[in-house]
Structure 1
Amino acid sequence: MAMPAELRLTQEEPEGPHAPETPPAEPGDRAPKRAVLPGSWQPLGARYHQGPDGRPGTNFAVWAGGAEAVELCLFDEEGHETRHPLREQTFQVWHGHLPDVRPGQRYGYRVHGRWDPWTGARWNPAKLLLDPYARAVDGPFVLHDSAYGHVHGWPEADVADTVRDNRDSARHVPKGVVVHDGDDWLDDRRPKTPWADTVLYELHVKGFTQNLPGVPPELRGTYAGLGHPATLDYLTGLGVTAVELLPVHQFADEEHLQRRGLRNYWGYNSIGYFAPHAAYSASGSRGEQVGEFKRMVRSLHAAGIEVILDVVYNHTAEGGEGGPTWSLRGFDNAGYYRLQPHNRRGYQDFTGCGNSLDAAQPQTLRLITDSLRYWVTEMGVDGFRFDLAATLARTGYDVDMRAPFLGAVFQDPVLSRVKLIAEPWDVGLGGYQVGNFPPLWTEWNDRYRDTVRDFWRGARPDVRDLGYRLAGSSDLYQRAGRRPFASVNYVTAHDGFTLRDLVSYNGKHNQANGEDNRDGTDDNHSWNCGAEGDTESPSINALRRRQLRNLMSTLLLSTGVPMLVAGDEFGRTQGGNNNAYCQDNEVGWVDWSLLDSPEWRPLHDLTARLIRLRRTHPVLRQRAFFSGRPAHPGGVPDLTWFTARGKEMTEADWYEPGATLAMLLSGDDLTERDPCGEPLQDDSFLLILHAHHRATRFTLPGLPWARCYETVVDTASEQQSTPDGRHCPAGEPIVVPGRSLLLLRVCAGEE
């Protein structure tokens, strides 16, 4: 195939490994060059410090395996670039110390080497690269063809990504920023909430505070807004113990979104694993975002709330072979990414995002673990939720629970002590791994999500699976010494319908995403209660609110770790969009006006009361799996299942068609201990779940379980701020309304 003359230069190779052909300097690139001292090969990144002679400076160190030359590029306030060759190389780390380079200095790298995509070599010194260890990032990723290592838009598909582009990308990519880390965290008091006592609250930094009353307008949508007293008052009033933040690593918008005028709102497109996303900073992007993030963490800790980060180490924003060259691809494409074994031009993609990081490679593993330790030790966070964690456990094609990444975390003295949550699947063959992660790990339990959704919409033939989910999913987690808190129970998450939309829509409505409603799952396990979307029908709206009370109550009364999604507790809606990843607007933001609505405020009050109940009663947050046996001779079993007739369930009862299940949790001699080591005692509770649309008669279990019961929660009632306190004698039938849940406390005697 003949190549147009205007593109022929893009195929030229550097003349030699030590005299590479670099792009022409920018006009005005005439700043005097500093003398580059040898410096140190570790730690990686840009580290500002005082030298032994008292002279300040910054040590730069970056890994670029297989590269032939590396240039450090400094940028002044006008954007003029000065290049400094790094001539020292130790263990494939290129390094140098520059005196008088101070915090706030913007920088990047140019890396020289072979251009041979067919073997995975994609070095291109025309592309300014972001330091993988940059602790702050300044400037946007601009949609421009020069950001691609190859000629973007080359019409021949068979060579589309193989024609090298020598245009300079510096004007169109952000720069790293030198940051001074001098924080010792001595004034911080981490909450350190035990797993069994944890209530997770998933939120988006921007979307949660963008319209939050009480937060000053200039702080809304920022780290400072999340750490504001108005935000803390709400979170502590609700009673959650940990916030799980959607990605805050520096991320970029995909090309297809930029072309449609949209943005990657959720942030699952990371490009800087050490840098807080600059757009969430109210104070600036020249390193100020780092201090602002730390102050936010301190404020949350002072309020007794842990900070969990949702992290995306499974892929990067560089995408597949047709994607831009922003960072890792330009340092060593084959050293960071999983390439096809028989065609090194292409990528293995277990994520659906074009590429997959290869956590089995030593340098990639170091990048991930260094990043994790940094966020714990220097940024103060308390744990991580790993997006598509199965990808990190792959060796070759297979998921292996003995993979280097899992082993590294297990033995790490820092990471083994924080909260670790796996999203235990990816999109590759064999990627579904729910229940298989090793001890130390908890998991998002989608079996819980689907079972609870199906039960309350009447789509379960029996109650077998529901029993497992209510009691901590022992079928998934009891082996290998794991505990009930290995199960992170959730009914909704950021990905999918909100709780209100779950009971308002049968199908997704994602037209605003610009993909002809093709994106997002079709497997929602939802029921619209008789009308699609908003309706004026009082009966349908009343049923929806009752279903919300049922779902929220089930979640917070189940054994395991509950996770709520911000706004679900007062009826937040996305208008039926179940994939609002690109909706940085009112669709994706929390609508706080709902909290003042008499229609939705009762759901918030019920949620807060259920969280208080859970905190007050250890029997509702078990630390060990139920045994089904008495805690002491003459006692009742720690867990007993009942039919609607008030009789203990037999094996056959579990297989009978039905929509009613009851469980009695005994508070007699719990596994939890008081400060003196003595077993704690608690109240006993009877939980009744009835999903049929018709009411049923339920006979309350009598002796030896109880003489009397007191109503604590009744989802058939609209008002849930306080319990009604009704007393019911044991052994007598009660009427359980259709589609309702009852929580009854065993009381001392008859009324």
Structure 2
Amino acid sequence: MRGLRVLPGSPARIGVHWDGEATSFALFSAHATAVELCLFETADARFEAERLPLPERTGDVWHGRFPAIRPGQVYGYRVHGRFAPQEGHRFNAHKLLVDPYAQAITGALAWSDALFGHDPAQPDAPDPRDSAPCMPRAVVVDPRFDWGDDRPPRTPWSRSVLYECHVKGFTQRHPDVSPEQRGRYLGLASPPVVEHLLALGVTALSLLPIQHACIDAHLARLGLPNYWGYNTLGFFAPDARFASGSRGEQVRECKQMVKSLHAAGLEVLIDVVYNHTPEGPPRGPMLSLRGVDNASYYRLRPGDPGEYVDFTGCGNSLNVSHPRVLQLVLDSLRHWVTEFHVDGFRFDLAPVLARDPEAFQRFGRFFEIVRQDPVLAPVKLIAEPWDLGAGGYQLGQFPLGWTEWNGRYRDGVRRAWRGDPGLIGELATRLAGSSDVFDSARGPLASVNFVTCHDGMTLADLVTYARKHNEANGEEGRDGPHDDSHNWGVEGPTRSLRVSKRRERARRNLIATLAFSQGVPMLSHGDELGRTQRGNNNAYCQDNEISWTDWSLDDDGRAFLGFVQRALRLRHANAVFRRRRFFANGDGSEVRWLRRDGEEATPADWESGALACVALWIPAAAADPADEAGRPAAAETVLLLVNPDAHAHAFTLPAPARPGVWHELLNSACETRRRLDKSVVLAPWSLALLAHREPS
């Protein structure tokens, strides 16, 4: 490899790019004194075969162009500079570094003390050991791919139903997916899986992180994996865990997954973690950014640059207030849209991106740049609207064009349906779109409604366990959030028919509430199949049957799946559930809340807390006549009867001005489809959806 010809290249495009003639390398580091490109003869070679200095520095970008370097070349960096931790500088050229802009990564991280940039015995001194044998490496990628006539589905928010999904966990146990594709990108886009998703009624997959992640030190000590992947090492690289290989296969197969899902009309959104990195606190390992330019990439504590500001609980926070770090985030987002054709992003701990310098800024630089960017502005943008810093809970505070995971929806709906007293008003507010959380300019579609997600119990566990059972995580049950769960009389699996029926009804209530609420519904993968994690509500380190979806169904399981499918079909068929604006208060032309006697609920009824149940009447005229794309939207008048009480209640049905009959479309307590006249009795802990139709 010696004698490679090197050209100056250009600083204009950071990263590594093969253009068919040569490979260009460019790396930002404001405080480095030299940058070496390390070339490996094989992916598993312990040390590099050649070190080549990047010959040019333009401003703070180091760059060079190499005609002899081709796709498939395995490489890393060594960056020289001062090791002065108390000043924020931690350069150590003994440490091999992963390119922050790597488009593919090969090899696993092997945890060792050699990964640390500092001497463990003397934290202010550099460690002299070479970390190359322990490190994953970047791979030069040929970006060419035949997209054919691929087009993004561009499903309007009003017609969207999200499905949060783990690439491996969803397909690893699917009997009809070929063994070589189970747990991989191609398995997720295989015909049996696509058929299930379309029959279910979802429109978009919201994938847990597929950017290349690595294991945490404490998990490595416990012998556990980082299954979820919220520990991103490569912001531009698809995770090789889900591919048949790691030398570029992950890039091709991820693109093929998106192309196949698009062909079925399904959008692909990905979870992104731009708030922290796997390098952890200041005395954590040196894997990439810390060794490239610690003082630029991380938020240093004011007055004490040897320490970090940590808004994430993970030991560090990316310094997105620095222009080049903000550029890395934006370049990564554009890369996933232009190169992988993804349709949107869910931002983990999103307030971190808007802290400028420390307080959350609703109209900060990140939001303004995204809003004006022709590549990013059209895609779906979803915020997890909280982080662990001061003032970190920012639900409802994101700008126009963003949607947010609505944690108040999750908590309120769970508590109301488990029978907590005095929450009928809370449940009504969530059904109506959470106008107390989001301003009128954003409307109900700013709310991503969910009752379960990856973080917490599955739907089946939510009604089976009253407490978490996280023993398998190796932390003696200290980890994991508190779920508003309810076991309905017995902790864990039971043979009691009475308890089982109550649990089944509770699941149906939660699913139907989700389907018929204003806003954007999101299901967690496998909930429709009764997926259980055996009470584990923090299965981030369980890459096994605790997390993997079991596709085998008994008669009760098939009945529940049919219920979920029917609830979503009813949502898709009726535009009254998909409004872009909040209901107007006043004359009842858009919505009426009725007591069980058929009379409209008064402010005094709501304030007294005496309402045990309620009915939501929405006339067909309240629906938007067309969706965001201008397509006509069919609608019919509905009455949603909600009884989260432990007693049965009789409802007097209202008589609309137009002649007709109330038809029962869905009932969480029974399978009947009745025609109703003047009243109906609703079973304890149940709901029913009625539609008013003219006589045939």
Q: TM-score, normalised by structure 2?
A: 0.97
- Map of 2:295 onto structure 1: 334
Give CA-to-partner distance per residue, 1:192-234, whole Å, 9 cap, x none: 1000100000010010110112111111111111111121111
Deviates more, 1:310-319 or 1:400-409: 400-409
By how many angstroms is 1:669 displaced? 6.0
SS at match of 1:645: coil
Please state if 1:106 is matched with 2:74: yes
> How does 1:6-155 map onto structure 2 within 5 Å?
31-50=1-20, 56-77=21-42, 79=45, 80-152=48-120, 154=121
- Map of 1:53 onto structure 2: none
Kept in 2: contact 1:336–1:358 (CA 8 A): yes
Structure with bigger gyration radius: 1
> How does 1:339-738 map onto structure 2 within 5 Å?
339-479=300-440, 481-522=441-482, 524-593=483-552, 596-628=553-585, 637-657=589-609, 658-668=611-621, 670-673=623-626, 682-704=635-657, 707-717=660-670, 719=671, 724-729=672-677, 732-738=678-684
Give the 3 Å change call, closer, same or farther, for CA 496–656 of structure 1 in structure 2. Answer: same
2 CA distance for matches of 1:322 and 1:427?
20
Identity value in percent:
50
The one-letter code matched in structure 2 to 1:549 is: R
Give the 3 Å change call, closer, same or farther, for CA 34–293 of structure 1 in structure 2. Answer: same
2 CA distance for matches of 1:558 and 1:680?
17
1 CA distance for matches of 2:674 and 2:554?
28
By how many angstroms is 1:680 displaced? 5.3
Give CA-to-partner distance per residue, 1:419-452, whole Å, 9 cap, x none: 0000000011100000010001000001100110
Give the 3 Å change call, closer, same or farther, for CA 177–462 of structure 1 in structure 2. Answer: closer
The one-letter code matched in structure 2 to 1:485 is: L
By how many angstroms is 1:627 displaced? 1.4
Give CA-to-partner distance per residue, 1:324-372, whole Å, 9 cap, x none: 1110111110101111112111111111111011111101100000000
Kept in 1: contact 2:209–2:230 (CA 8 A): yes
Deviates more, 1:107-116 or 1:336-345: 336-345
The one-letter code matched in structure 2 to 1:624 is: R
By how many angstroms is 1:705 displaced? 7.3
2 CA distance for matches of 1:703 and 1:292?
55
2 CA distance for matches of 1:676 and 1:575?
43
From 245, 249, 268, give the equivalent of 2:230: 268
Kept in 2: contact 1:478–1:625 (CA 8 A): no
2 CA distance for matches of 1:190 and 1:292?
18
By how many angstroms is 1:292 displaced? 0.5
The one-letter code matched in structure 1 to 2:520 is: V
The one-letter code matched in structure 2 to 1:361 is: H
Kept in 1: contact 2:434–2:447 (CA 8 A): yes
1 CA distance for matches of 2:480 and 2:628?
49
Give the 3 Å change call, closer, same or farther, for CA 706–406 of structure 1 in structure 2. Answer: farther
Kept in 1: contact 2:7–2:64 (CA 8 A): yes
Kept in 1: contact 2:334–2:375 (CA 8 A): yes
- Map of 2:214 onto structure 1: 252
Kept in 2: contact 1:33–1:82 (CA 8 A): no
Kept in 1: contact 2:158–2:628 (CA 8 A): no
The one-letter code matched in structure 2 to 1:249 is: Q
2 CA distance for matches of 1:81 and 1:321?
31
2 CA distance for matches of 1:467 and 1:145?
55
1 CA distance for matches of 2:239 and 2:631?
47
The one-letter code matched in structure 2 to 1:611 is: L
From 184, 194, 211, give the equivalent of 2:173: 211
Kept in 2: contact 1:455–1:659 (CA 8 A): no
Aligned length: 692
- Map of 1:14 onto structure 2: none
SS at match of 1:192: coil
Please state if 1:746 is matched with 2:689: no
The one-letter code matched in structure 2 to 1:490 is: F
1 CA distance for matches of 2:284 and 2:3?
33
The one-letter code matched in structure 2 to 1:172 is: C
Kept in 2: contact 1:33–1:84 (CA 8 A): no
Give CA-to-partner distance per residue, 1:517-565, whole Å, 9 cap, x none: 000113x111110111111111001110010001100001111000000
2 CA distance for matches of 1:372 and 1:397?
23
Kept in 2: contact 1:462–1:654 (CA 8 A): no
Kept in 2: contact 1:359–1:404 (CA 8 A): no
SS at match of 1:358: coil
Q: Which runs of 4+ in 1 moved over 6 A?
A: 674-679
1 CA distance for matches of 2:266 and 2:630?
26
1 CA distance for matches of 2:631 and 2:185?
43
2 CA distance for matches of 1:371 and 1:674?
31
Kept in 1: contact 2:573–2:634 (CA 8 A): no
SS at match of 1:398: coil
Give the 3 Å change call, closer, same or farther, for CA 679–495 of structure 1 in structure 2. Answer: closer
User: Unaligned regions of 5+ residues in structure 1, if any?
Assistant: 1-30, 51-55, 631-635
Kept in 1: contact 2:83–2:125 (CA 8 A): no
Kept in 2: contact 1:424–1:443 (CA 8 A): yes
Q: CA RMSD in A?
A: 1.7
The one-letter code matched in structure 1 to 2:545 is: E
Kept in 2: contact 1:203–1:243 (CA 8 A): yes
Give the 3 Å change call, closer, same or farther, for CA 216–676 of structure 1 in structure 2. Answer: closer
By how many angstroms is 1:613 displaced? 1.2
Kept in 2: contact 1:360–1:403 (CA 8 A): no
SS at match of 2:636: coil
Kept in 2: contact 1:247–1:311 (CA 8 A): yes
By how many angstroms is 1:623 displaced? 2.0
Give CA-to-partner distance per residue, 1:592-613, whole Å, 9 cap, x none: 11xx211211111111111111
Kept in 2: contact 1:669–1:680 (CA 8 A): no
2 CA distance for matches of 1:728 and 1:328?
66
By how many angstroms is 1:675 displaced? 11
Give the 3 Å change call, closer, same or farther, for CA 674–238 of structure 1 in structure 2. Answer: closer
By how many angstroms is 1:677 displaced? 6.9
From 238, 255, 266, give the equivalent of 2:200: 238
Q: TM-score, normalised by structure 1?
A: 0.90
